[in-house]
Amino acid sequence: MDAAERERYSRQIRFSGIGEPGQEILLRARVVIVGCGALGSFHGAALARAGVGSITLIDRDYVEPSNLQRQWLFEESDAADGLPKAVAAERCLARINSSVRAHGVVADLTSSNVEELLGQSHLILDGTDNFETRYLINDFAVCRGIPWIYGAAVGSYGLAMPVLPGHTACLRCVYPDPPEGAQPTCETAGVLNVITSLVASYQVADALKILCGRQDLVQPRITTVDIWQGGTRQIDAPPRDPDCPACGRRQFPYLEESLRAPVRLCGRNAVQVQERVLVLDLAELKTRLEPIGEVRANEFALRFIVAPYEMTVFPDGRAIIKGTSDTGVARSLYARYFG
């Protein structure tokens, strides 16, 4: 650590729980954040300011005006330009701390890329909005022995739970199956930006303990908070389940190779579709679609609007079809315009 770094992180170094040895570790640490929404964008900002050396931010979506109320790395210009969240987040972190190696990845985390994207991490932070991706993270983290921290927030309510493979219950010990029935989303129930920052703070606090070598200070607890009606509750996580498919029987079905079926995006009236792996020429596609509807494109994505649908397609062939939650309609639109 040089003199400039000692000055920059001086207040953190003076904190006895970290000190200079802990700061040295943070400068060499590698963290992956899955999802750059309300939780993930706060994770990125906090870790960059703390001096975590390498931060990878994975997100499949793009910035919209409704994100700006609670997603901490984005500005109006990002929404106006339709930038992918991972790109906008990387650029913002570079402005916050130019010595941090921030890398944005515009992708959907799947079994086919999970090793490449998560394999070199010391820790994984959950900023996702669906259980399928969380189960994928859990399978990979348990299989590889990488700590990860689960978090979720909607309305004024949120929760956080650390997963330390081999030491604590994993996600599937606590939630063997996804919740059944319609679940509240930010679109149906709204969300306060302060609950997202609070949950993300709990996650980052445990992350710093783990990265600094103080895993012994991480309590195997589920923390729940309702910041509007009041009340913070912490309960001990259950013990590891010897019959858990992941950490008990060592079965990892979410790591099996498969092309993900169309996915309804949380609270978005939108469906993500990728019928097969494609490499799209966005410039050629723009020329082909312009006679049919409104087209806006940049180097990262192309947005195509034919009322009442708005379709955003990425170079890898993945598309987000907005204006329907019907996967059949989304697949039909995909085939018509991009397939």
Residues in the chain, total: 339
Q: What are phi and psi of 320, to 5 degrees?
A: -110, 115
Cis upstream peptide for 84 (omega within 30°): no
Please state the separation of Cα 280 from the chain's center in Å: 25
Question: pLDDT by residue (tens digit) across 165-199?
Answer: 999 999 999 999 888 877 777 877 899 999 999 99
pLDDT of residue 83: 93
Least confident of 4-13, 207-216, 299-308: 299-308
Question: pLDDT by residue (tens digit) across 70-118?
Answer: 999 999 999 999 899 999 999 999 999 999 999 999 999 999 999 999 9
Q: What's the mean per-residue pLDDT of the chain? A: 93
Sign of CA dihedral 190, 192, 196, 198: negative
Rounded distance between C-alpha atoms, residue 53 and residue 34, angstroms: 17
Largest CA distance in the chain: 64
Task: Report DSSP state, residue 155.
Answer: B
Distances (CA, A) of 327 to 109, 187, 261, 280, 338: 20, 19, 9, 22, 16
Instruction: Report whether 90 contacts 57 (CB < 8 A).
Output: yes
Rounded distance between C-alpha atoms, residue 37 and residue 12, angstroms: 26
pLDDT of residue 260: 61
Domains located in the chain, CATH noted: 3-255 (3.40.50.720), 263-337 (3.30.310)
Q: In 3-state terms, what secondary structure has residue 240?
A: coil
- Looking at residues 141-169, what average pLDDT do you find? 97
Rounded distance between C-alpha atoms, residue 138 and residue 124, angstroms: 10
Share of the chain above pLDDT 90, in %: 82
Residue 262 pLDDT class (50, 70, 90 cuts): low
State which H helix or E strand residue 22 sits in.
Answer: helix 19-28
Judged against a pLDDT cut of 70, whether residue 4 lies above it is answered with yes
Judged against a pLDDT cut of 60, whether residue 34 lies above it is answered with yes
State which H helix or E strand residue 33 sits in.
Answer: strand 30-34
pLDDT of residue 133: 94
Q: What are phi and psi of 146, to 5 degrees?
A: -100, 125
Question: pLDDT by residue (tens digit) across 270-288?
Answer: 899 886 667 888 999 999 9
Question: pLDDT by residue (tens digit) across 209-240?
Answer: 999 999 999 999 999 999 999 889 999 999 99
Give the contacts of 328 (CB within 8 A, at least 6 positions apart): none
pLDDT of residue 189: 85
Q: Which amino acid is at 337?
A: Y
Judged against a pLDDT cut of 60, whether residue 259 lies above it is answered with no
Entry pTM: 0.91
Rounded distance between C-alpha atoms, residue 77 and residue 63, angstroms: 9
pLDDT of residue 278: 72
The beta strand positions in 155-297, using DSSP E, are 157-163, 221-226, 232-236, 263-264, 270-273, 294-297
Judged against a pLDDT cut of 90, whether residue 163 lies above it is answered with yes
Please report where in the chains the tokens 């959907």 appear, as a residue.
108
Q: What are phi and psi of 127, to 5 degrees?
A: -120, 25
Instruction: Report whether 147 contacts 163 (CB < 8 A).
Output: yes
Give the contacts of 227 (CB within 8 A, at least 6 positions apart): 156, 157, 158, 192, 194, 195, 198
Judged against a pLDDT cut of 90, whether residue 258 lies above it is answered with no
